[in-house]
Amino acid sequence: MTVVCVPDSNARELLGALPDGVEVIAWNGEDEKPDRLAETVFWVPQVEDSTNLEGKFRAMPKLEVTQLTSAGTEDILDHVPDGVTLCTARGVHGSAVAELVMTVILATLRQLPHFIEAQRQGRWDPVEADDLRDKRVLIIGAGDLGEQTARRLRSFDATPVLVAHTARDGIHATSELPKLLPEADVVVLTVPLTPDTTGLVDADFLARMPDGALLVNVARGKVVDTEALLAELTSGRLRAALDVMEPEPLPAGHPLWTAPNLIITPHAAGSIAKAGPRAFALVNAQVRRYLAGEELVNVAKSGH
């Protein structure tokens, strides 16, 4: 019997039917362990699980595959034991997050925050807005999310410019940022959090962006120097839209709450009704690949 462990009963339902010979158990890390937990070979953690990972891995000594339902690996990668393959949900949430990127860019350019506030106050207050046509949008992070965002931007007649750690056909290297940033109307961050990207957007990075430019962060909060960004927002020189920030959750009274020229969403880019079903459709397919001895997709760390 092949034992698959998911975090809760809702996940077990979303996982759907699997071939005969598979037993699905639910465990979210509590002290009371289900029967046959120690026999688990395929584990699906809670979303962005970072609690007592060493203990959870010890409880599953026969584990061979850990399948995430999110794309980021920074919370778990260093804890995965040798011999265990780690897979991500790359491609599952890209469309939803890219939609939020488009939403906040358009909302900012079309002055939606101004009009919403005027409506709240009962004021008829027309102002001149802007559009996406001919805008140059720098997308730092050329994975699935970057590509999904670029495709949507082209449909609005904008010009996406993709940037990755290493240059390849049609994609610039991060080493080229000093010359790319001054030409960007919008900068979108879609990079994973790594030692190279932590603090990437610092005071020097922001200073290279032109007056009135917009920074959109749907990557991780630690990619951006919060104090440096606050200084640019407060001066009125730059605008921003943050779905992720540092610290997070953003505490009451934090200056970001009242910073001008800023749209905040609470790490909600992937929070859509179909997120769970889409993620567990991938999990189901991965379990079937595992059972058939086929190559898994979205491998972030090989156990072989």
Token pair recorded at residue 215: 């920074």
User: What is the C-alpha to C-alpha distance for residues 161 and 194, in angstroms, rounded to an integer?
Assistant: 21
Q: Do you find a cis peptide bond into 34, omega within 30 degrees of 0?
A: no
Token pair recorded at residue 153: 């931007």
Under a CB-based contact definition with an 8 Å cutoff, are residues 42 and 2 in contact? yes
First and final CA of the chain: distance in angstroms? Answer: 22
Per the annotation, the verdict on 220 as an active-site residue is yes
Beta bridge partners, 172, equal 163
Per the annotation, the verdict on 237 as an active-site residue is no
Going by the DSSP 8-state scheme, the letter that residue 164 receives in this structure is E
The residue annotated as part of the active site, out of 220, 232, 239, 246, is 220
Chain centroid, CA 216 distance in Å: 12
User: What is the C-alpha to C-alpha distance for residues 16 and 142, in angstroms, rounded to an integer?
Assistant: 32
Beta bridge partners, 71, equal none
Under a CB-based contact definition with an 8 Å cutoff, are residues 64 and 303 in contact? yes
User: What is the C-alpha to C-alpha distance for residues 270 and 98, in angstroms, rounded to an integer?
Assistant: 9
User: What is the C-alpha to C-alpha distance for residues 61 and 83, in angstroms, rounded to an integer?
Assistant: 11
Under a CB-based contact definition with an 8 Å cutoff, are residues 162 and 156 in contact? no
The radius of gyration of the chain from alpha carbons, rounded to an integer in Å, stands at 22
Strands 136-140 and 159-164 come out as: parallel
Per the annotation, the verdict on 48 as an active-site residue is no
The residue annotated as part of the active site, out of 93, 172, 239, 267, is 267
> Which residues are identified as catalytic?
220, 248, 267
